[in-house]
Structure 1
């Protein structure tokens, strides 16, 4: 993160994001790559795929904060196919995905800690899945917290279906 001790709103928001990240990462502990890529429910989701997707979402949203415009990370990372954001490429092991997630998380934390204001806002892209208007850095961060927590819940179900391990309960 940063050398300075954060307090107040930023500290609280980053603590909430760190908590959601912890639970998501925790679901993958002691798994092989084969287990991390195994579908255990009717969903296409896997634990490795969730880690990859959430990492990409953080990259996209921090790019939005920094560059005055949202760029879907899968435009480059997944050959333009949204479903590929949940599918590790050959050579992307659970360990490499978790390492990348750690790097991205540190970058996000540093950005939020050093941003002049959480009120910086940019217009959302004109896409049917976005509301009309602008989002502040604060709104982006609350969205990241919600998305990470939601996927941590998905991961908990997948892990419990895999081997009975409960990471959240």
Structure 2
């Protein structure tokens, strides 16, 4: 599973090879996605899920500000948005001062940490309950194996997005 995750990571980062910082932040399609943002998002998602593996559901907090409901969030009428949601959205963009080299280095650090955490897990079927959130089935739990499967799928999906962005930017394909 770790080899498959590494292959998906490689496909994602391959799509950024040779891009300038400016190109990595461009959004060349109608999507709000950019190549550098995809790498940032994948690294953050992997980091969050591996914290879940190591610490359980307390590692993922989806608290809302007082007086704000999920219905407010979905309708876009919330008077305030939680910081975790703002950070999640920022994770899809290259922010001022960020470089592609820096984003890729963080991605590599997260990957190395994932390898360490998984090597220390004695049992891939070990599971934790998922924290309450509208996108999680009530009462569901994820095993370590399920987390890895999710990360492989998400990373591969975003590698495909990155291929489209790269081809749109300069006509090159990574594969």
TM class by shorter chain equals 0.7 to 0.9
Correspondence for 2:97 among 91, 95, 99: 91
For structure 2, which runs of at least 5 residues remain unmatched after alignment?
Answer: 65-81
- Mean CA deviation greater in 31-40 or 78-87: 78-87
Tell me, what secondary structure is at the counterpart of 2:91? helix
Please give the per-residue CA displacement for 1:52-97, whole angstroms capped at 9, x wherever unaligned. Answer: 1000001100000000114269x9xx94313212123322210000
Three-state SS of the structure 1 residue aligned to 2:147 is helix
Q: What stretches of structure 1 of length at least 5 have no aligned partner?
A: 1-12
Please say if 1:131 is aligned against 2:131. Answer: no
Higher relative contact order (CA 8 A, sep 6+): 2
TM-align CA RMSD? 1.8
Name the residue aligned to 2:126: 120
Match of 2:35 in 1: 47
8 Å CA contact 1:60, 1:72 repeated in 2: no
Query: TM-score, with normalisation over the residues of structure 2?
Result: 0.83
**2:61 touches 2:131 (CA, 8 Å); kept in 1?**
no
TM normalised by structure 1 equals 0.86
Say which SS state the counterpart of residue 86 (structure 1) adopts. Answer: coil
Q: Tell me what 1:21 maps to.
A: 9
Q: Of the candidates 99, 104, 108, which is equivalent to residue 114 of structure 2?
A: 108
> Match of 2:20?
32
Which residue in 1 is equivalent to 2:163?
156
**Counterpart-to-counterpart distance in 2, 1:122 and 1:107:** 20
Is 1:71 aligned with 2:78? no
Report how many residues are paired: 153
Is residue 25–residue 37 contact of structure 2 (8 Å, CA) maintained in 1?
A: yes
Q: Which protein has the larger Cα radius of gyration, Structure 1 or Structure 2? A: 2
